[in-house]
Each structure stands twice: as C-alpha cells, then as structure tokens.
Structure 1
Amino acid sequence: MTDAYKKAGVDIDAGNALVRRIAPFAKATRRPGADGSLGGFGGLFDLKAAGFEDPVLVSGTDGVGTKLLLAIEAERYEGIGIDLVAMCANDVLVQGAEPLFFLDYFATGHLEGDVAAAVIESIAEGCRQAGAALIGGETAEMPGLYGQGHFDLAGFCVGAAERGRLLPRMEEMAEGDVLIALPSSGPHANGFSLIRKLMAEQGVALTDETPWGGTFADALLAPTRIYTEELVPLFRRGVLKGLSHITGGGLVENLPRVLPAGLEAAISDGDLLLPPLFSWLQEAGSLSDQEGRTVFNCGVGMVLIVAEAEADSLLSELTGSFRLGTLTKA
C-alpha cells in the first residue's frame, strides 16, 4: 500500500522521517504546562501547571499570506515560520493573554524534507520568542493541489489570561490617554500582494540593493516582531488599558477596533516617521498617507493605550518605543 501511495505522489516514509527530524525543535520550546511530545493525535497542555488560577483561554489563527511567495522565490525560510507564530501570538497578546502553545499546518504538493525542516525549525524559533510550546501540527502532502516547490502555512495559537486582566479595558479609557508605539521589524506579513505588484511595476528583484542599504529580500523578509517579552510583564502590572496589533488594515482600521464609542485615536504626524522601506513603497505606488496607513503598518507593530501618568516611565522602559498620539473625543 505504501508503494502504491508513493506512486500516487504521497511519501509516508518521508513524512515519518520529517517528524523524527523536527522532534528536537519542538522539544526546545517546552514550557511549564507542556510536557508531551509530537506524534500523538492531540497536544496536551496543563493550565494549572502553567500557574493560572482562574484562566480565560484566548485563541488566534492566521497565515503569512503572499509573503510566502517571496520566501520561496528567495529560498529563505529562516524567518517565515517566525512570521507565522507572530501573526497568531501577537493577536493573542492584544487580549491581555500570555501565549501558551502553538500548532502549525504545513501543506505541499511534494514533501521536500530540507525545506519543511527549515520552515518548522523557524516555527519553533518563533514559538521560543513567543514563549509558546510547539505541541503539535500537521504536514499534508497533496500532489496536484500545489505547484512544484510551493507550500502553504497556517497556525493556531492558544493563550490564557486571568479573568480580571483581559484587554481591552474600554470602560477605563479616557480623553488624554496616550498611544505608545512599539516599532515593527518591517511590513511583517501584511500588504504583500501590493508589495509584489509594486516590485513588478518598478522592475525590482529581491536580490537588488535598496536605496537605503541591504537587499530588498533583507528588508521584505525580515521576520515579524513578537512582543511577548515586552508585554507580558506589563499585563502582570496592570498598566495597560488596551493594545492594538497593527496588521491588515494598518493603523487606520486596527486602532478603532479596541476603542470605545466616543473616543478616537489622534496620531501625531510629526511622531510617525516612515522607515525608508515604507517611504519607498508609498512613493512607488503613489499612495496617499491615508492609503499607506491603511495597507501597511508604517513602522508600528503594536500600539499601547495607557494613562498619561504611566506614559513617560513606559517610554523609557520599552526600547525603541515612541509616543504616537492620544485619545480624543470623537
């Protein structure tokens, strides 16, 4: 049966070999509450062992979009798994929850062991940065569905927060609260359909040097920043009123999602200084400021909403952070 299945394009032996190969990557992500190993029908997690008393579970799922096509073209896989974890874990963080565990889905037409192992090793590194255990996943080989050398990724992250610490706390938000920006590492994993279009229109290749130094591959494939290290300690101190993960829809669409009726974000244009890549993209696409802020994160990966009294100490504590604006009456 195995030989017949292999002739149909599915190599069970290669899949089993991959599981054995990636087991050390998953083991390296273990944390309190996650003691299992890969290969079971489901992943187990013990919330009590993780130190929670009255937890609320928070989940998030996402992919990496068409950024994946650039990673495949460049044959650079060391960051794409970090992107996958980040897009899920950062969404969990904005609810005030600590990421606990992660599962991945890797689908391809023909399993190439070296590529799959590199991607999953990158996922494990993302889990390490997020503080989440890689407790399971699925590798699907589906000949005829994906082209030669192509694959797709999806991920699922679960976190938890003590019941009284969930975000946003809209009832506490008030006029004059401060917006603090944590920088992004680049476009993260959003806007790449437009980025690819602009590159084609401008005749730019991934290997070309950018006007500001380094290649376009370096700039565009930089892994998405994961904000666990900065944010989880702030959850425990209770200093945050809200968080906004700046993903698809940019600053324009994501900030209002965490604000109560009657308040809006007033962004100080002088404080939002576009990194060179975003200036290039905006100029290449003849995008207005509004369009740029709707498609791209414009150098801002996460926005914190805090009381004015907390702002200065947090700005000095959080490396690279800057004051983005304030809340005003709508």
Structure 2
Amino acid sequence: MIWYSHVNEDSSPEIAFSKGYYSVISVIGSGERLIALLSNTHLKQVFAVDTNSDAIELLKLKLLALTELDVEGYLRFTGASEMSANERMMYFMKLQNKLEASTRNYWNKNHRIIKKGILNIGQYEKFLSKARPLLNVFLGVSFLKMFNQDYNSYSKFRWKIVKNIFSKKTSYLLLGNKDPAFIGKGVDASIITKGFQELIDKKEIHKSFMAYLVFFGSLKKMDVEFLPTSQNPETLKKIQDRLRKKKIEIQFINNDVLNFLESNAFKSYNSNVFLSMSDILSFHKTDYVIKCIKALKVSDKCAFVFRSYLRNHIDTNIIKKIKALGYKVKDVSNMESTKMYKVHLVEKL
C-alpha cells in the first residue's frame, strides 16, 4: 500500500542541515522529502530506504519522470498540474521502457492510479478526499476566504466544532484512515487542529501547503513563493539537471533503516553522512532513536533529523541518553511550517 504520495512534511529542516554532506540516508515515505534533499549541491550519494516496496516503486517512477520529462511535463504527469488520464498514459508509455523490469511490471499492473496522477493515490490522500467535502460544506466558503488573506469572515463557532471532532482519532477511523500514525496507541490527534489554529492565529494558513492539501486537495492555487521545495518549478529544474548529468548515485534499499545501519552493506559508507528519518517515531518508540545512533559508528561528521507527529515524542530522558553518546540535540520544530511535527536535529560532537 502507498501510504502517502503527495507532500506531507515541510522539508526545510532537512534541507538546511543536510548542506555540506556528501551522503544521505533517507526514509522514502512519499518520496517528496527525498526529492527535496537532492537540491543539496554537495550531495553525491543517496540511500533511499523503506520497508514498503510500494513506496520504492513510487519514488523510482517520480525520479525517472523528473529526469526524462521537462519540469512542466513532470508536474502535469504526477498530478500537480492538470492533465487528462489519456495524456498521462501516453507519457507513461514513453517512460516505461526506461524503467527497470520490476518497476515497469509494478506500474503496468496499476494503470488506473497512473491515470489519476501519482501524487493523488496514497491512503492519506484518499482519506482527505473523504474528509474534505464534509469539512468544506460545514465550514462554508467563508472559511476558504482565509486563503485570500481574509481572516475575519469565517465562523469561529463552526471551526470550533470541527476542531473538537478532528481532535479525536475516532474521526479518522470512521473516515477510513488506517495509518497507525493517526489511529495508533498514544496518538494525540488534537496536534493537527492545534497546528491549524496556530496558522489561523498567525494569519499564515494561506502559506501552508498542508492547509491547501486538506481543504483544496492540491497546491494548484498556491503562490509559487510558498510551494514546498519538491513542487517548486525553479528548484526542480536544478535537481533535474543534477539527475540528468548523473551527479547523484541513488541506491534503493527495501529494509528497515535500523537494519540497514546495522548491516555490513553500510559499513563502507560511514563518514560524512546525513540521515533524514522522516516521522519514523510514528511507528517506533523513542528508544529506536538511540538504537539508530549506536548503529551508525562514524569517524567523520554525521547528523540525524528525527520527526515525530502525533505520538512518541522525544523527551528529556531520551535527550540525555543521546548526549551521553557524544551527540548534541536541538529542537528545530520552529522551522517546520505545518506546526504539526516535532523535529529534532542530532549532530555528532
């Protein structure tokens, strides 16, 4: 199952702290954060790691499309811009012979989701397609005026009711969300509504890609200056140039990232490495962070960025344990524009 296919994290912290690193190990997820990391001009080597083989196939298709098509064609093919289903299939037919056999076979069995645009096919995106009509009907057009910077017209009473409903994980269950990040043990779903409330209070919801995805289903109406890196045409052109000139070696690893770090296969790549761990703590308890740090024995410099979403947040006890291993820890959550993730930078002293 593809859990996420569109942008679901603000990659600003990862982009900022990966500069100067030659190797990146990245959990794939939707692939959008990893694509954003390719903007690092020092980057030479990427290990794209995920236990979900579907996520690997999604990223392989995205990267091939970005390499072979022009940027406008890439955005249209993936679903960021308008394109008919027939046109998407025509584009895919041109691309498929350049895909490796296993990836070509995977997508030949999934033409129906190619036609929808591969940004719109994840379980999270399907959940939003169910929730969005209910939200927009109840909140009304006055709520959407905030995206035109009118923050005075919306009904605070209706928004309060929506906040109350979507602060409970039962709402996500009822709408078919099967993701443990939303419905697992210890989840605090109120973090989502509190994040949106902060954006409203600061009059920044019109700058939020997350808000556009939730309430519109796409970023098509979003100002270019606020687009996330993996959807910004000018940045994509620079990334595309590096891909075409084969300046970055990308290896795909179908494994748990901790197992990969502990494997013999990784031992020859153990210096000057940056690890982009996504919201790995949505699926593992916080001691997983300690295990990953211990598994990566580096002689040079390294850094991790760990995210947590609705549960398993890094606390002072975990921070003490990380520091005892010779690393410094910094909470960089303020760099994350969604206001929903806790983000920590861990660097070797």
TM-score normalised over the length of structure 2: 0.26
The structure that is helix-richer by fraction is 2
TM-score if structure 1 supplies the norm length? Answer: 0.27
| Larger relative strand fraction | 1
